[in-house]
Structure formats: C-alpha cells, structure tokens
Structure 1
Amino acid sequence: MSFILNSPAFGDGDPIPLKYSRDGDNVSPPLEWQYPPPTTQSYVLVVDDPDAPSGTFRHWAVYNIMGSRDRLPEGATAGAKTESLGHGVNDFGNAHWDGPQPPQGHGRHHYHFRLAALDVPELKLPAKAKVEDVWRAARPHIVGEAELVGTFER
C-alpha cells in the first residue's frame, strides 16, 4: 500500500472548513496517515499555499514527530506530552499553525499538507528555524512522502 495522508475534517481537493482558517478559530486540522515506509523513524509536516500573490506562502512546519505516531490531533500546535514537537517559523512570523487567509476576492487557494517520513529519529534545528529551513533539513532523510490538498476561498 502507498503512504497516505488524510483528514477527518476535509477530503483531498475539498474546502478546508472555516474553523481551521485565520478567519475562524485558527486551530490546526486533525491529520491521520497510514502505510508509512518501514524504515520511518520520524516525520515532518509542512503546509504551504503556492497560490499566494507573492509566491509560495508557508503556513506551518512540525518536525520531530515520533515514527510510532499515525496522527496529529486537531489543535496540535503546542506539542504532545510524550514528545517535543518542533515548529518552524511560518511566513506570518509565528512558530505555530496559521491557517488559510488568502486575500479577499483572490479566488480559491490550494493548501498542500506534505508529510515526509524520515530515516532519522529527529532533526536538530535552531528554535527559530523557518518552515523552508525545516523542509531543507528534512529532504536528505526522506524515505516516503504523502500529500493532502485542501482549498480555501474568501
């Protein structure tokens, strides 16, 4: 089976509910995954919007997700008691989830949730690492990748 990522909150290609946007409660959506590669030791999740007027806009990065996990619950922005999740600094300047907030009237934007399975137990990154730095550090260690795309329009 292929490595897959999904959300109980929205399907692939479907609209992301308002609750998960900056116009709503701005909480991260629940995510679940199945069939990771057998060599997976940890995960990295990156969320970006390639439809932003100024180019790709990065909304979230979470890293050092334990390889034994198969989900992130709704609102997973502060880590879990059993592990210390790292968060990259997004393009809003925050080290947490910031949901969709495209410019008013700009049309439908696509939000790519990319989950990478890594062959290392953790990434050693500075506390203020940006989302793109997290992805750059993860790339040499990727053994599998799954993607979920949600849309949002204001």
Structure 2
Amino acid sequence: MKLLAILLYPLGLLLRGKRAGSTRSIRNAPELAAAESGTLHLTSSAFTHGSTIPLRHATMDLGPNISPALAWDEPPARTKRMLLVMEDIDTPTAKPGRHMAAYFAPEPPRIDEGELTADNARFTYLPDHRNRTGYQGPRPLPGHGTHHYQFHLYALDCEPNTTAATELESLLPLLMGHVLASGHLEGTLRG
C-alpha cells in the first residue's frame, strides 16, 4: 500500500484544485431539512470538531479502519430512527464521496468505538460510493491536501422503507418532512 501512495502522490498534486465542495454535501439536501428546529450536539471522544481524525480511524495504508466513538443529545421523543452519514467533501469528483450511511434505533444516544461494522445487526447500511457497507474510514488521495470528513446525524419520525430504497439517493425523497433534528461533526485528515 505504501507503493500505491507514492504512485498516487503526483495525481493528488495535479488534482489539488479540484474538490467536490460543501455545496453538494448531503447536509444541504432539501429532503433532510429539519421539519422542526431541533439540533443534536454530535461529538466524538476521538477528535473535536474541526480537528484531525486519529489514524486509528483511517483506512488502507494509514490505519486499521476502526470507527470512532460518537455521542449526541437525547433525540426528540417522536424519534423512531436515526440516520448517520459520513462523507468527504474534498474528493476530486463531482460530488462528495460517501464513506458510510446507516440508520438505527435512537437508543442508546451513542455509538461505541469500533461498533460500525458491516456485520453489526444494530445498523442497517446503505451502500457507500464504492458499493461497500459498514464504516469506511478516511483515506485522502496522497498529495491532495487536507480533506474534511463530515458526520451528519438525523433524528427521523419514521421507519425508512428499505424495500423502496436500497441506496441513500433513493431513500432521500422518502425522508422529506420526517427530520426532527440534526447534528454535524467534522474532522480532517491530510493526504
């Protein structure tokens, strides 16, 4: 993997100015606008908002791909499901790279370190941008600079219909008007 990083470094330098950007973030999807003005304070014991994500939470040649611990406020009483999305807004692509999308029961209001595995029955995963499920940690393109990884959490007053939606894009229309509160946490990693 180290050889791959060395080979990709010139490509990362060449693409430094190309980034998906925050305007195309899932955070701006009109379907996920909160029907109420609820806010969830989303935190991690591994990193603070805007700081570097430790390499133990990175993937490929950088780290062992262990999901970070996450915690949030008690969601509104009518919450039936939580939706967690992790994305990289700095990928050199047309839209941010989605590293994970999962929904789950609202209790307990936390996810323990390493809990976001593909085989954990607590979570129902939607495939990421490479058709994988489970947590896929940060791995910015070598030489591309700092990437911003965003964790978005939504409290939903409905149970998403997985037979009607098997990927996040097809699930979004079903969530319109069902978001009670949301939270946001951002970490960075330099490529």
Q: Same fold per TM (> 0.5)?
A: yes
1:58/1:131 contact within 8 Å kept: no
- CA–CA separation in structure 2 for the residues paired with 1:8 and 1:50: 22
Pick the aligned partner of 2:98 from 31, 44, 58: 58
Q: Residues 3, 26 of structure 1: CA spacing in aligned structure 2 closer, same or farther, 3 A cutoff?
A: same
Per-residue CA distance 1:23-55 (angstroms, 9 max, x = gap) = 201121110011422322220100111111013
3-state SS of the aligned residue for 1:19? helix
1:87/1:96 contact within 8 Å kept: yes
Pick the aligned partner of 2:138 from 92, 100, 117: 100
Equivalent position amino acid for 1:117 in 2: A
Identity %: 35
3-state SS of the aligned residue for 1:4? coil
Shift of 1:123: 1.4
- CA–CA separation in structure 2 for the residues paired with 1:127 and 1:93: 18
Q: Residues 136, 48 of structure 1: CA spacing in aligned structure 2 closer, same or farther, 3 A cutoff?
A: farther
TM norm structure 1: 0.86
3-state SS of the aligned residue for 2:177? helix
TM norm structure 2: 0.71
2:39/2:182 contact within 8 Å kept: no
1:46 — aligned with what? 85
1:9 — aligned with what? 46
Shift of 1:96: 1.3
Structure 1 range deviating more: 30-39 or 104-113? 30-39
Q: Residues 47, 101 of structure 1: CA spacing in aligned structure 2 closer, same or farther, 3 A cutoff?
A: same
- CA–CA separation in structure 2 for the residues paired with 1:67 and 1:13: 25
1:89 — aligned with what? 127
Shift of 1:109: 0.7
Return 5+ residue gaps in structure 1 as ranges.
none
Aligned length: 149
Equivalent position amino acid for 2:101 in 1: A
Shift of 1:134: 4.3
2:83/2:154 contact within 8 Å kept: yes
Q: Residues 39, 69 of structure 1: CA spacing in aligned structure 2 closer, same or farther, 3 A cutoff?
A: same
Equivalent position amino acid for 1:36 in 2: P
Per-residue CA distance 1:47-94 (angstroms, 9 max, x = gap) = 11111101310000111x1122210111222325xxx42011111321
1:109/1:151 contact within 8 Å kept: yes
Structure 1 range deviating more: 47-56 or 32-41? 32-41
Structure 1 range deviating more: 45-54 or 124-133? 124-133
**Deviating runs (4+, > 4 A) in structure 1?**
none
Q: Residues 35, 20 of structure 1: CA spacing in aligned structure 2 closer, same or farther, 3 A cutoff?
A: same
2:74/2:109 contact within 8 Å kept: no
Q: Residues 22-37 of structure 1 correspond to what in structure 2 (within 5 A)?
A: 22=59, 23-37=62-76
Q: Residues 24, 45 of structure 1: CA spacing in aligned structure 2 closer, same or farther, 3 A cutoff?
A: same
- What CA RMSD, in Å, does the superposition of the two structures yield over aligned residues? 2.1
1:88/1:134 contact within 8 Å kept: no
Structure 1 range deviating more: 135-144 or 3-12? 135-144
